[in-house]
Chain A
Amino acid sequence: MFRPMRDPGAPAAAPLRFTFDGAPMTARAGDTVAAALLANGVSVNRHTPVSGAPRGAYCMMGVCFECLVVIDGVGNRQGCLVPLEEGMRIETQRGPRQAEALSQEIGA
């Protein structure tokens, strides 16, 4: 999908580690979740609630809600607005936000 541009002057900081659907990945500290996924070649981050069609990030500015993902068990997160953090567990959002994730969150 995307790759880092060649920029010899760019500061080289230690990358952050995270997982996407269980697969270990790394990305630059300072990237949003959506940018980190694109940089790792992830083109699909959700399946729609209506038809189950695959979708990927579209606007990258908080408008389209196509980059919705599950982050650390919490669904419906806009990946383009959430900065990546070390150890984040990111998952594909399948359909609407899942009740299981919700009940975990409220401790039920």
Chain B
Amino acid sequence: MNRVTDVSALKEQYDLVVVGAGPAGLSAAATAAELGLSVLLADENPAPGGQIYRAVTTTPVQRREVLGEDYWRGQPIVQRFERSAADYAARTTVWTVGRTELMSGGEGFEVGVSADGQARLIDARHVILATGALERPMPIPGWTLPGVMTAGAAQIALKSAGIVPDGRVVLAGCGPLLYLLASQLQSAGANIVAVLDTTERGNALAAAGALPDFLLSPYLAKGLKLMLAARRKLRFVGGVTGLRAEGEGRVKQVVVERGSARETIACDMLLLHQGVIPNVNMTSAVGCEQVWDEQGHCWAPKLDAWFGASVPGISIAGDGAGIGGAESAALRGEVAALEAARRVGRIDEADRDRRAASVRATLARAMRGRRFLDVLYRPAKAFLAPKDAATVVCRCEEVTAGQLRETTRKLGVQGPNQMKTFLRCGMGPCQGRLCGPTVTEIIAEERGVAPAEVGYYRLRPPVKPVTLGELANLPKTEAAVKAVCR
């Protein structure tokens, strides 16, 4: 691995540019570099690992049992990448990927990167987007109060900085990550006063059909162990149907509803989580077709058997391709890289297929049991489309659920893009990442149609903010200068 800290030191062109240094991106970059491709791996964070293996090479947490053995599985993945000949640009934002005629001839992509206030456009013959997942927004009343964070955020703080929430901590929501975090924070010494579980009672029955598959899955042993351990030591409150964070200037208490029963729990921190969904911002802005995934209740890119997207030359690996977890992410990265190597002419089809066969077998095992988890932890309607009119949905532009519902009804709004023009939802700095799924859900509910019919925001580059100064200072090619100067 060759660390590149200055964008001007990047090559003009790479065979493969990988975006995102989680397990998928690391494995894809290593696999491709081992096959002789010139590879750039660009990532926003200071160190490799993505979110699941966040700071695995730099974490101050030395007691291995705090983060659990699964976390440390990221080490060999990073080490393999470090042994490869790939270029690695940390703290580097990729803000656009667009089709272009390559300087060296043929079709390819122009990739806009930016680091330390310097932007640059570089060419790539193939691009693998490994931009991962984000936590599904959980818009409850008061979720914008300081002191309310996502469970994932607390986990990142623990992994990367070795810090734990201070004072009385309440966790709320559903899904494996919530229970994992509860057990991690518990062993790191946090004072967890309650875990409020919003899993719908009916889900267990619906998930029963997927149980045989789950029983064969690798999730089983570790998942159940975690949950049982956390349950034994902590106060678990099941069947939660409503949540409200309250406080002046910061969270002071959470009001919990269980059917008609109501309880108020004083707290200093509230950590929310209801599963993870693919982060579609980059893949969508590049023009990759997205489809509604009924099982995961989210949008996910349309992909072929090699994780190729609807735009030829773009592959999507890892949880950004549909939620599969860390183990499957690394394997998907390998498969996508093998196809990239074939496309740029490094290996032939037979070689690609031979190399992919064993990876695919492991991948199939790693994906086992996913359906059971998706169905069991499908969020309840009340937490997907809040009924309380004053609940903020778009955190950036401060647009409420009531405004969204009323605008849908009174103005006959059909989808999120039309909604933007009326309410500005999704037009703040987060570019809809934190409100998009909820806006789709609310419009669908008000119109009485499926989310698939409502659609999602039309996303455009730049997918991350880039300053006018950076754009103005882009190095210009001779052809570009000639085009405007006589």
List the interface of chain A (C-beta within 8 A of B): 1-7, 9-11, 28, 30-32, 35-36, 38-39, 41, 43-44, 48, 50-51, 53-66, 68, 76, 80-81, 83, 106
User: Interface residue tally of chain B, by bracket?
Assistant: 35 or more
Contact check, A62 vs B44: say whether CB atoms are below 8 A apart: yes
Contact check, B146 vs A43: say whether CB atoms are below 8 A apart: yes
Contact check, B61 vs A10: say whether CB atoms are below 8 A apart: yes
Q: How far is A68 from B428 in the complex, measured between Cα atoms in Å?
A: 12
* Complex: chain B residue closest to A81, CB-CB: B44
* Interfacial chain B residues near A60, Cβ < 8 Å: 149-150, 152-153, 156-157
Q: How far is A1 from B157 in the complex, measured between Cα atoms in Å?
A: 11
- Provide a sorted-by-A list of 14 A–B residue pairs whose CB atoms are within 8 angstroms: A2-B165, A5-B158, A6-B189, A7-B66, A10-B62, A11-B60, A39-B163, A56-B149, A58-B434, A59-B149, A64-B430, A64-B433, A66-B395, A68-B429
Q: How far is A23 from B91 in the complex, measured between Cα atoms in Å?
A: 27
Contact check, B63 vs A32: say whether CB atoms are below 8 A apart: no
* Interfacial chain A residues near B321, Cβ < 8 Å: none
- Nearest Cβ on chain A to B5's Cβ, whole angstroms: 12
Contact check, B134 vs A56: say whether CB atoms are below 8 A apart: no
Contact check, B149 vs A28: say whether CB atoms are below 8 A apart: no
A32 and B46 contact, Cβ closer than 8 Å, known pairs A6-B189, A64-B433, A65-B429? yes
Per the 8 Å Cβ criterion, residues 139-190 of B in contact with A are: 144, 146-150, 152-153, 156-158, 160-166, 188-189
Q: Give the one of A3, A57, A61 with max B CB within 10 A.
A: A61
- Cβ-neighbour of B161 out of A39, A56, A63, A64 (below 8 A): A39
* Complex: chain B residue closest to A68, CB-CB: B429
Cβ of B382 within 8 Å of any chain A Cβ, yes or no, is no
- Cβ-neighbour of A44 out of B58, B249, B396 (below 8 A): B249
* Interfacial chain B residues near A10, Cβ < 8 Å: 60-62, 162
Contact check, A5 vs B147: say whether CB atoms are below 8 A apart: no
Contact check, B166 vs A35: say whether CB atoms are below 8 A apart: no
Cβ of B465 within 8 Å of any chain A Cβ, yes or no, is yes
Contact check, A5 vs B61: say whether CB atoms are below 8 A apart: yes
Cβ of B398 within 8 Å of any chain A Cβ, yes or no, is yes
Contact check, A63 vs B433: say whether CB atoms are below 8 A apart: yes
Q: How far is A10 from B62 in the complex, measured between Cα atoms in Å?
A: 6
Interface string of B122-151 (1 = CB under 8 A from A): 000000000000110000000010111110
Q: How far is A38 from B165 in the complex, measured between Cα atoms in Å?
A: 9
- Cβ-neighbour of A35 out of B160, B189, B249 (below 8 A): B160
* Interfacial chain A residues near B91, Cβ < 8 Å: 81, 83
Q: How far is A65 from B431 in the complex, measured between Cα atoms in Å?
A: 10
Contact check, B161 vs A35: say whether CB atoms are below 8 A apart: yes
Q: How far is A57 from B60 in the complex, measured between Cα atoms in Å?
A: 21
Q: How far is A9 from B430 in the complex, measured between Cα atoms in Å?
A: 38
* Interfacial chain B residues near A65, Cβ < 8 Å: 396, 428-430
Q: How far is A33 from B76 in the complex, measured between Cα atoms in Å?
A: 28
* Interfacial chain A residues near B326, Cβ < 8 Å: none
* Complex: chain B residue closest to A6, CB-CB: B189
- Nearest Cβ on chain B to A13's Cβ, whole angstroms: 9
A3 and B434 contact, Cβ closer than 8 Å, known pairs A9-B63, A30-B58, A65-B396? no
- Cβ-neighbour of A58 out of B45, B61, B153, B160 (below 8 A): B153
Q: How far is A4 from B249 in the complex, measured between Cα atoms in Å?
A: 24
Q: How far is A80 from B154 in the complex, measured between Cα atoms in Å?
A: 12
Q: How far is A51 from B392 in the complex, measured between Cα atoms in Å?
A: 12
- Cβ-neighbour of A1 out of B135, B166, B464 (below 8 A): B166
* Complex: chain B residue closest to A31, CB-CB: B161
Q: How far is A43 from B46 in the complex, measured between Cα atoms in Å?
A: 23
Contact check, B429 vs A63: say whether CB atoms are below 8 A apart: no
* Interfacial chain A residues near B162, Cβ < 8 Å: 4-5, 7, 10, 28
* Interfacial chain B residues near A54, Cβ < 8 Å: 146, 249-250
Q: How far is A58 from B147 in the complex, measured between Cα atoms in Å?
A: 9
